[in-house]
Structure 1
């Protein structure tokens, strides 16, 4: 398996990298260098590019911490980014070459948070199968609550009651280019009060990302008598509308603001997407589920899609040598 050359990403490849992302079968704007590098100060980039002769055939968005490479700790999902026409045998050789390269760089483990299939244009489980062959360890599994927009389950009576309260209070849903109000007046105070935490993205960071990706990052707010009462920040990809942040003020249950917002987003704004992804309701590294949050999401017809995280020993690349008979 010496047909492939693996190199570390360099800024000289900025356009080459992004062009490959745009034409792959399993990439979203999260893998664009302008997205990956907003938190460059927090992660040591170790992204890799795999060439067959002079042709780029795969990417691995990644960062390094000591003797482990992660794909990528600052991203929601990761793994090999591949061309649409790639076949299994080539993926096997690419991944074997990549692991051998990491092993030669004194990297003992590669940890991968696999991309859920809902985000891919084509079947994308080659890596999942290869991780089985490589005796990778499952280190985490999360459950995502996802609405299949092509095969919807009816909204529950509980959520419909909330929608009716929103109608009664004459709530309005609007897309907003101003993220400051939601961040400063709703999201940050709520996270601080409930969890003593801050959003993963600072306000400056999310505004920077919004400027880079205005069609992929959008803010939807709910207003009551002209006042902002709830909202969500959406990450929008070709197939999926994903809720990155959801929050409402203390009157959200009385007003039905969040029920009203998401009924409109699912059945109107993003009705043409294949999936609407509420994200996970997990705690304790995937070993517990927030019962109330899960109940609320499933009230909109969301059902479970799993996301897995594996750790593989780079020295195990030799296990792939005899797979193809």
Structure 2
């Protein structure tokens, strides 16, 4: 979180029992509300793998009590999509029920489950054949500058009027700090950059963080073959995540985007955003 720490009022918390660290909450403060850190894609209480449900509930009660006593009215959590868990870990669902949490946003994520056979549909297969005939070559690359300046930023600006969440300087810094977790793949036709993808990698998930193609991407199918090769490359991961296909805080499904991701065999998963009133800490006495 350090590279953009100037944008947030940090309020990250450590929860102890005596001198033993039990949990961590990366968070920032806005007014009388706490957010599981808004500079992170996902958030929530980070706990040890072996935590028991009673202990988890006690930890969460201590967290809410501390916030309530310090004038914080609401805790907002961006729940971790369950594909990122290394084991079954649904304690937060139980705590949300007990504390009368409100789900105020629900984003649709499209995900390939690698326990099933990878099977793109007929449209994608036709595009892959086209790309092969156009001599599109995929490379693991460090050419963030050209992808950012020539393809990604212009496309986002022209189509949506927005900039990438990360600047070129930020993504290059993050890729340097986390070389095993952030990788760039570019697609070239006769050494001309046609498309690019930035992957964020965890133990369980290969996630398409950024993807974009040049204006002739339909003619060359460069983005199709780029996705196909990456999906095959990370077949050892439990999941390949295509990211969100919903807009306006989850209330509108981008049907075209959803279909394109589903055409590779992706299925819907959900990331919930929940709001908990800290005064409800007393509901966790079990």
Q: Quick check: TM above 0.5?
A: yes
**Aligned with 2:91 (options 126, 133, 147):** 126
For residues 129 and 152 of structure 1, the distance between their equivalents in structure 2, rounded to whole angstroms, comes to 33
For residues 265 and 191 of structure 1, the distance between their equivalents in structure 2, rounded to whole angstroms, comes to 22
Q: Is the 8 A contact 1:179 1:207 kept in 2?
A: yes
Give the CA RMSD over aligned residues: 0.8
Tell me the equivalent position of 1:150.
115
Tell me the equivalent position of 2:80.
115
For residues 216 and 100 of structure 1, the distance between their equivalents in structure 2, rounded to whole angstroms, comes to 36
Q: Say whether residues 1:181 and 2:143 are aligned partners.
A: no
Q: Say whether residues 1:159 and 2:124 are aligned partners.
A: yes
How far residue 152 of structure 1 moved from its aligned partner, in angstroms, is 3.0
For residues 196 and 307 of structure 1, the distance between their equivalents in structure 2, rounded to whole angstroms, comes to 25
Task: Extract unaligned runs of 5+ from structure 1.
Answer: 1-35
How far residue 153 of structure 1 moved from its aligned partner, in angstroms, is 4.9
The correspondence of residues 253-272 of structure 1 with structure 2, limited to 5 A, is 253-267=218-232, 269-272=233-236
Q: Say whether residues 1:230 and 2:195 are aligned partners.
A: yes
How far residue 116 of structure 1 moved from its aligned partner, in angstroms, is 1.1
Tell me the equivalent position of 2:254.
290
Task: Extract unaligned runs of 5+ from structure 2.
Answer: none
Q: 4+ runs of 1 displaced by more than 3 Å?
A: none
Number of matched pairs:
286
Task: Give the TM-score normalised by structure 1.
Answer: 0.87
Q: Is the 8 A contact 1:152 1:301 kept in 2?
A: no
Tell me the equivalent position of 2:263.
299
Q: Say whether residues 1:212 and 2:212 are aligned partners.
A: no
Tell me the equivalent position of 1:7.
none
For residues 134 and 198 of structure 1, the distance between their equivalents in structure 2, rounded to whole angstroms, comes to 37
Q: Give 3-state SS (helix, strand or coil) of 1:40's partner.
A: helix
